Structure 1
Amino acid sequence: MTTEKTVVLYPALGVGHLNPMVQLAKAFLRRGVAVTIAVVDPPGKDPVLEAAVARLAVACPSMTVRLLPIPPACADSHGAMRILAELRLASPVLREFLASLPAVDALVFDMFCIDALDVGADLAIPTYMFFPSAAADLAIYLQVPGCCRAAPSSFGDMGETPLRFSGVPPVRALDMPDTMVDRESELCRTRLQQLARMPEARGVLVNSFEELEPRALKALRDGLCVPAGRSTPQIYCVGPLVDGGVSASGESGERHACLEWLDMQPKQSVVFLCFGSGGVFSAAQLRETARGLEESGHRFLWTVRSPREERNKFAEPDPEAFLPDGFLQRTSDRGLVLKNWAPQAEVVQHEAVGAFVTHCGWNSALEAIMAGVPMICWPLYAEQRLNKVHLVEEMNIGVAVEGYEEELVKGREVEAKVRLVMESEEGKKLRDRVAMAQEMATHAVKEGGSSDVAFYAFLKHLEVSKLDNTKAG
């Protein structure tokens, strides 16, 4: 574009929401758009988020990062309700910040930051939503308020009952996001109010690409996902927005040791297990997973945290204390256990990796697609169970472990799914399909690809929105 624009990005709390917003910021910068990321800064910071913000300031000096300090939320609120309360408290601070800027061409808010719609309206700033998950999730979310009202009971009481949504395969009630399972809860009521307001955004930037989700996108654009009388905002698929994985260097500038280990493994021979920033298991589950890996006979790279029973999930774990006796010694010639963290983007892209056992966070799923690696899906919380449905039943680029919705996935199930992906004809077909998805994703983000074209269409829409606001003023 010929004139420089200024966009403020407003992520929700949590690394899983900050990271894709950072990738979106980089996409804006590459197109000559000035970017500020406004990050909510509550008391008692999440150390993982705090570290991510610190790294961002150093790694991307061309990107302005502004912290928005907020007062403490109600002491009685916990978990997701606390996050939503903190985001509400941030609205006046966001408004004051935006009002202090000389010019803002657009405010782009995360899907959890719905109150930003009111801030944008007050200041006459064109306001758009960034949806960091699958377009199929967006299609479902827009239909959930009506589905929830029509359901005979809360989703949490409906178990295996299939729910029908336009644009996606049937979804079992037990696979709906945690925030929506009890319609009588304050959390569910709050989320339903937020979902009902999503169509108020001037447009939606989705972290996906046209070729990956044609059915969901058609349903969205045909108006099948919003109530009668309402219109669907313009949808812009601008993904995959993922970490390019160009460097896994630490402060010393050296590659992570696990990448050196992968260099010594045969091509597509390693099963990589990594479950995101919130992936914490019981000690019993960690032991079962270890048994399954050992019995499979395959090479593995496994990121582990201390068991759920221990208070501080960020503490340095001691695998000897909670894995089966002798496991590390018996598998030392073909396995590597990492403590707490791995450079996931770089690992998934390594040619030695042949399968990815993942919690199905959308960032992780896109990284696997961009690397052409089939997935063994083990969803844990939030919208991850929905993503499992899309990856396994719609896209056919992953398989799910049985028993993830129960207390324990057995070691024999871990072994069976590892063998399926790494050894069987079905596994070969999975690999072929994800290779096709990889090729489509690579093309989508290139100049002239579907996501590149969508991004420029969005920037053109900004010009029209700004003109409309000027006339209204």
Structure 2
Amino acid sequence: MRQTVVLYPGAGVGHVRPMTELANVFLKHGYDVTMVLVEPPFKLSDSGTTAIERIAASNPSISFHVLPSLQAPDFAAPSKHPFLLMLQLLHYYNEQFEAFLHGIDRKSLHSVVLDMFCIDATDVCVKLGVPVYTFFAGSASCLSVLTQLPALIAGRQTGLKELGDTPLDFVGVPPMPASHLIKELLEHPEDEMCKAMMNIWKRNTETMGILLNTFELLENRAVQSLRGPLCIPERILPPIYCVGPLVGKGAKDEDKVERNECLEWLDMQPDRSVVFFCLGSKGALSEEQLKEIAVGLERSGQRFLWSVRRPAGSDNPEKYLKVGPEPDLGSLLPQGFLERTKGRGLVVKSWAPQMDVLDHRATGAFVTHCGWNSVLEAIVAGVPMLCLPLEAEQKMNKVSMTEDMGVAVELEGYMTGFVKADEVEVKVRLVIEGEEGKQLRARVAARREEAEAALEEGGPSRVAFAQFLLDVDSLGKQLRE
């Protein structure tokens, strides 16, 4: 009898995508996989919805199950932070999730793997006697910091915000400026958001084990900190399994009916000559910042491929739109910019096939928001990065990327929330044609080789996943007895 693994990423393309890659690993080991999604009472962005639909359509071997929608109180409460609403929603879905698991033959149910934000469903799995694990889609460095934060916050009468850029010492990671922590964690310890997030990270380390989307050599110090009584002196964390890098594969040319226009354009550019500027599915910048970046790119004299989204913080976003959600580039960018950079640069609206672009021989650098999925994709492709972190844990990732991993340099303007044209010009030139850029490319190339080795037969990530399967089998037998 084939066994079934249930993966529960909740909603959000940034969580569904890496868990889909994890699902494919289970499939290769002979397991059936069901991905459980929830239907939020508030709409995802069009691009997010489309991306999830695209993922489902391109992975027919995975069964996707959407839990029945429900009407729960207070989801439209204007005073509630969207993150708290999401957590409340996922908690209400526990009943539906339990009913779904009851529908699977207990003997064939191998395990349940929960996304970091669906962690309340641990209670359902414990109740049913099902092996339950966490899939932490972020970096090991981020998880290490988050597990150490409660001890730092405990007993404080004020939040960490007042510390500004003061470096904080955490085991396993470089000194972390207080300002670089997830902003909600900087608030007063009794703040509702701060308490909710602290509870999430605590519960993430209370399942039967943690699957990490990383590989040992990339974050060795952080991984080791999670394996001993270093992060939380009073207890040992559950087993840590580094099973990454789990990233999607770019589509092969022969598999495409029609290649994206930006790939056709890249075909005409010299090797490693193009800066790819893309800030993820939510990376919206202000109109002023977009214009400043445009000036810097133009002055740099370098080739570029730039994915531009509708600007953030606009009181009248419709003024930028011609049809639908795509930005009107003529209104957003400096007058004449597109004409002056024609041939040397290409600006695309809202979306570009990121893995295909990173894998392309012409791509020489990647300006990224430092989301962990994007970081891993660039490392796997061997592309050095310029860091422009925006939100969530991205500033934390930036510290590790530049100081521990050696795969990136920063655009220092992120510290003030505005990157000037002069810095864009200088840093783009540095990475593409400077001596420091050559050294950076060499380090990233070495990381790429390590990533490939991790996933080869007998590689550390393959061995870690095999050990995970053995541990689940052993645990499953104990729970059934």
| TM-score of the superposed pair, with normalisation by structure 1 | 0.95
Who is 1:54 aligned against?
A: 53
Relative to structure 1, the CA distance from residue 368 to residue 81 in structure 2 (aligned partners, 3 Å threshold; closer, same or farther) is same
Q: Which runs of 5+ in 1 are unaligned?
A: none
Who is 1:19 aligned against?
A: 17
After TM superposition, the structure 1 = structure 2 runs for residues 104-183 of structure 1, keeping only pairs within 5 Å, are 104-149=109-154, 153-182=158-187, 183=189
Following superposition, the deviation at residue 203 of structure 1 comes to 0.5
Relative to structure 1, the CA distance from residue 362 to residue 270 in structure 2 (aligned partners, 3 Å threshold; closer, same or farther) is same
Who is 2:71 aligned against?
A: 71
Name which of structure 1's ranges 282-291 and 143-152 shifts more when overlaid on structure 2: 143-152
After TM superposition, the structure 1 = structure 2 runs for residues 257-296 of structure 1, keeping only pairs within 5 Å, are 257-296=261-300
What is the identity, as a one-letter code, of the residue corresponding to 1:304? V
Who is 1:196 aligned against?
A: 202
Who is 1:390 aligned against?
A: 400
Who is 1:404 aligned against?
A: 414
After TM superposition, the structure 1 = structure 2 runs for residues 342-361 of structure 1, keeping only pairs within 5 Å, are 342-361=352-371
2:370 aligned with 1:370, yes or no? Answer: no
Contact kept in structure 2, 1:145 and 1:195, CA below 8 Å: no
After TM superposition, the structure 1 = structure 2 runs for residues 408-419 of structure 1, keeping only pairs within 5 Å, are 408-419=418-429
Q: Distance in 1 between matches of 2:476 and 2:11?
A: 28
Who is 1:185 aligned against?
A: 191
Name which of structure 1's ranges 352-361 and 184-193 shifts more when overlaid on structure 2: 184-193
Following superposition, the deviation at residue 114 of structure 1 comes to 1.6
Following superposition, the deviation at residue 56 of structure 1 comes to 3.0
Alignment equivalent of 2:89, drawn from 71, 86, 89? 86
Q: How many equivalent pairs are there? A: 467
Who is 1:236 aligned against?
A: 241
Q: Distance in 2 between matches of 1:212 and 1:142?
A: 19
Name which of structure 1's ranges 185-194 and 436-445 shifts more when overlaid on structure 2: 185-194
Alignment equivalent of 2:7, drawn from 9, 25, 28? 9
What is the identity, as a one-letter code, of the residue corresponding to 2:167? P
Contact kept in structure 2, 1:249 and 1:255, CA below 8 Å: no
Who is 1:98 aligned against?
A: 101
3-state secondary structure, aligned to 1:394: helix
3-state secondary structure, aligned to 1:167: coil
Following superposition, the deviation at residue 398 of structure 1 comes to 0.3
Deviations 1:316-361 (A, max 9, x none): 1111101111111100020000000000011011110110000000
Relative to structure 1, the CA distance from residue 437 to residue 151 in structure 2 (aligned partners, 3 Å threshold; closer, same or farther) is farther
Q: Distance in 2 between matches of 1:57 and 1:388?
A: 31
Deviations 1:8-38 (A, max 9, x none): 0010321111100011001110111110000
After TM superposition, the structure 1 = structure 2 runs for residues 238-253 of structure 1, keeping only pairs within 5 Å, are 238-247=243-252, 253=257
3-state secondary structure, aligned to 1:236: strand
Contact kept in structure 2, 1:377 and 1:388, CA below 8 Å: yes
Following superposition, the deviation at residue 55 of structure 1 comes to 2.1
After TM superposition, the structure 1 = structure 2 runs for residues 25-36 of structure 1, keeping only pairs within 5 Å, are 25-36=23-34
What do you get for the CA RMSD once the two structures are aligned?
Answer: 1.7
2:461 aligned with 1:455, yes or no? Answer: no
2:333 aligned with 1:334, yes or no? Answer: no
What is the identity, as a one-letter code, of the residue corresponding to 1:254? E
What is the identity, as a one-letter code, of the residue corresponding to 2:244? G
Relative to structure 1, the CA distance from residue 420 to residue 9 in structure 2 (aligned partners, 3 Å threshold; closer, same or farther) is same
3-state secondary structure, aligned to 1:404: helix
Q: Which runs of 5+ in 2 are unaligned?
A: none
Q: Distance in 2 between matches of 1:249 and 1:51?
A: 23
Contact kept in structure 1, 2:411 and 2:427, CA below 8 Å: yes
What is the identity, as a one-letter code, of the residue corresponding to 1:426? E
Q: Distance in 2 between matches of 1:305 and 1:9?
A: 31
Following superposition, the deviation at residue 217 of structure 1 comes to 1.1
Q: Distance in 1 between matches of 2:55 and 2:432?
A: 36
After TM superposition, the structure 1 = structure 2 runs for residues 428-443 of structure 1, keeping only pairs within 5 Å, are 428-443=438-453
Contact kept in structure 2, 1:155 and 1:176, CA below 8 Å: no
What is the identity, as a one-letter code, of the residue corresponding to 1:277? S
3-state secondary structure, aligned to 1:105: strand
Alignment equivalent of 2:226, drawn from 205, 212, 220? 220
Deviations 1:429-452 (A, max 9, x none): 111000000000011111111111
What is the identity, as a one-letter code, of the residue corresponding to 2:413? G
Q: Distance in 1 between matches of 2:133 and 2:346?
A: 43
Relative to structure 1, the CA distance from residue 168 to residue 305 in structure 2 (aligned partners, 3 Å threshold; closer, same or farther) is same
Following superposition, the deviation at residue 151 of structure 1 comes to 5.1
Who is 2:454 aligned against?
A: 444
